[in-house]
């Protein structure tokens, strides 16, 4: 294997001088990460603003006690229905997310404990309406409980006796997560994606580009073995992909440490990572990067030219994207704990990364995921080297 390190160093030197690599593999992930976190930070801070739920109210002047409860929750912005407008029209004009219709005799009925009917109007296809409906129901539940307790007290009845049981919330003592829930869900996806896309900017150039330019023969007539040449290129590709992942993670840390009010909500639990979590991240990302490097190099070796590389990679992207996207939602399903997840490439890495960012490490999952990753990395490297040593493939131009 003499000579692989020379090939590796030469490739890195060329990449370092290539602005495309600098922009798309190094600066790209960093800037994109900063942009995405800023965007979600902005959206997240918008959600948390007071009076986020804008509610149109008809005859609200007759329903002071309930509207006071809503105002006290500081979650609503109450808009009185304009004279001559129906609630349906108000919703169509986006004056509010939903409308509350209090009857004109609400006050009398309420005071007479006659259970007046209040209608909530909303568009069931509007996500924001459903969210606001849940918020209204929460305030209503609390209001109704207090109202019942007050009425029971008037009758000298303990309201607790009417409840089947009392539900007490008790949060488990868990490790402080690396960041907010959204980021913990999204970050593994980004890291996995960059492990794959990081090598895109150089993979075409590595073998197919050399075939196209005619510089490959220069290499093949040197006394360095083809295995060594392929291994040197493989290492260079893996190094760039790893640099992309690191750059993406650096973007997260920069945003976590920067005192930007807009994004602080995403990092309210700090940026703490346990040593076990860091270990888990490293031993799962590195095999994944090596696996991708092997596959990408095999594609570049097989392709006749750089354009052909791009065509193959467009297709291959989906194979990576689908499990990566699924990893985004796996935390919301019961599948997260299933053993078979650890045997699915990409998905297993994202799953372990998610756990690691929550400062949880399941050593069995980690061992399986890492072993699968190592086996695939070896298979990827074997495939790339095998193709590189096949004259029929290497001479395809």
Partner 1 sequence: MITVEDLAKHFKDPKRGVVRAVDGVSFQAKPGEIFGLLGANGAGKTTLLRMLSTVISPTSGRAEIHGYDVARNPDGVRKSIGFMSTTTALYSRLTPREMLRYIGKLYGLRRDELAKRIEETIAMLEMEEFSDRLCDKLSTGQKQRTSLARTILHDPPVLFFDEPTAGLDVLASKTIMEFIEDCRERGKTVVFSTHIMSEAERVCDRICVIHDGKVRAIGTFEELKLQTGEERLERVFLALTEPAEDAA
| Residues engaged in binding partner 1 (CB under 8 A) | 2-3, 6-7, 10, 13-14, 17-18, 213-215, 217-225, 391, 395
Give least dist CB 391 to partner 1, A.
Answer: 5
Report the alpha-carbon distance of residue 322 to residue 196 in Å, rounded: 13
Cβ proximity to partner 1: between 54 and 396 the closer is 396
Give least dist CB 37 to partner 1, A.
Answer: 33
Interaxial angle between packed helices 275-302 and 306-329, expressed in degrees from 0 to 180 and rounded to the nearest 10: 150
Q: Measuring CA to CA, how many Å separate 76 from each of 95, 96, 118, 395?
A: 13, 10, 17, 69
Name the DSSP letter for residue 223. Answer: S
Listed in order, strand segments (DSSP E) in 3-138 are 53-58, 76-80, 98-101, 119-122
Cβ proximity to partner 1: between 266 and 385 the closer is 385
Give least dist CB 26 to partner 1, A.
Answer: 16
Report the alpha-carbon distance of residue 365 to residue 374 in Å, rounded: 14
> Structure tokens of 136?
């209204």
Name the DSSP letter for residue 268. Answer: T
Report the alpha-carbon distance of residue 217 to residue 229 in Å, rounded: 12
Cβ proximity to partner 1: between 33 and 308 the closer is 308
Cβ proximity to partner 1: between 110 and 388 the closer is 388
What does residue 329 show for φ and ψ, rounded to 5 degrees? -105, -5
Give least dist CB 357 to partner 1, A.
Answer: 37
Give least dist CB 245 to partner 1, A.
Answer: 24
Give least dist CB 243 to partner 1, A.
Answer: 17
Cβ proximity to partner 1: between 164 and 223 the closer is 223
Report the alpha-carbon distance of residue 33 to residue 36 in Å, rounded: 5
CA dihedral 279, 282, 285, 289 (to 10 degrees): -150
Cβ proximity to partner 1: between 33 and 212 the closer is 212
Cβ proximity to partner 1: between 4 and 197 the closer is 4
Give least dist CB 209 to partner 1, A.
Answer: 10
Give least dist CB 308 to partner 1, A.
Answer: 18
71 burial class (0-12, 13-18, 19+ CB within 10 angstroms)? middle
Cβ proximity to partner 1: between 10 and 71 the closer is 10
Written as one string, the DSSP assignment of 332-385 is GSGGGG-GGGGGSTTHHHHHHHHHHHTT---HHHHHHHHHHHHHHHHHHHHHHH
């Amino acid at each position: 294997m003499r000579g692989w390190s020379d090939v590796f160093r030469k490739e890195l030197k060329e990449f370092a001088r290539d602005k495309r690599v600098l922009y798309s593999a190094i600066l790209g992930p960093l800037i994109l990460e900063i942009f995405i976190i800023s965007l979600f930070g902005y959206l997240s801070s918008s959600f948390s603003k007071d009076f986020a739920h804008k509610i149109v109210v008809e005859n609200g002047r007759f329903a002071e006690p309930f509207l006071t409860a809503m105002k006290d929750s500081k979650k609503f912005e109450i808009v009185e229905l304009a004279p001559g407008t129906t609630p349906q029209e108000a919703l169509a004009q986006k004056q509010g997310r939903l409308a509350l219709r209090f009857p004109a005799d609400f006050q009398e009925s309420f005071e007479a404990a006659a259970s007046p009917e209040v209608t909530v109007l909303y568009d069931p296809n509007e996500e924001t309406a459903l969210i606001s409906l849940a918020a209204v129901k929460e305030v209503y539940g609390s209001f109704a409980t207090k109202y019942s307790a007050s009425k029971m007290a008037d009758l000298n009845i303990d309201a607790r006796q009417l409840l089947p049981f009392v539900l007490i919330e008790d949060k488990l003592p868990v490790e402080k997560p690396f960041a907010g829930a959204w980021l913990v869900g999204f970050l593994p996806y980004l890291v996995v994606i960059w492990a794959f896309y990081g090598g895109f900017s150089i993979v075409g150039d590595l073998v197919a580009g050399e075939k196209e330019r005619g510089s490959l023969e220069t290499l093949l007539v040197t006394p360095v073995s083809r295995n060594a040449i392929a291994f040197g290129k493989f290492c260079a590709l893996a190094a760039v992909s790893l640099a992309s992942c690191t750059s993406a993670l650096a973007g997260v840390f920069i945003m976590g440490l920067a005192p930007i009010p807009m994004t602080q909500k995403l990092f309210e639990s700090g940026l703490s990572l346990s040593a076990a979590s860091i270990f888990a991240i490293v031993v799962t990302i590195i095999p994944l990067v090596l696996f991708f490097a092997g596959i990408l190099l095999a594609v570049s070796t097989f392709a006749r030219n750089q354009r052909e590389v791009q065509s193959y990679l467009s297709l291959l992207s989906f194979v990576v994207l689908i499990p990566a996207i699924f990893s985004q939602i796996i935390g919301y399903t019961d599948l997260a704990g299933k053993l078979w997840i650890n045997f699915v490439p990409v998905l297993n890495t994202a799953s372990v990364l998610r756990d690691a960012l929550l400062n949880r490490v399941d050593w069995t999952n980690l061992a399986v995921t890492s072993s699968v990753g190592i086996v695939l990395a070896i298979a990827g490297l074997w495939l790339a080297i095998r193709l590189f040593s096949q004259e029929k493939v290497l001479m395809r131009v």
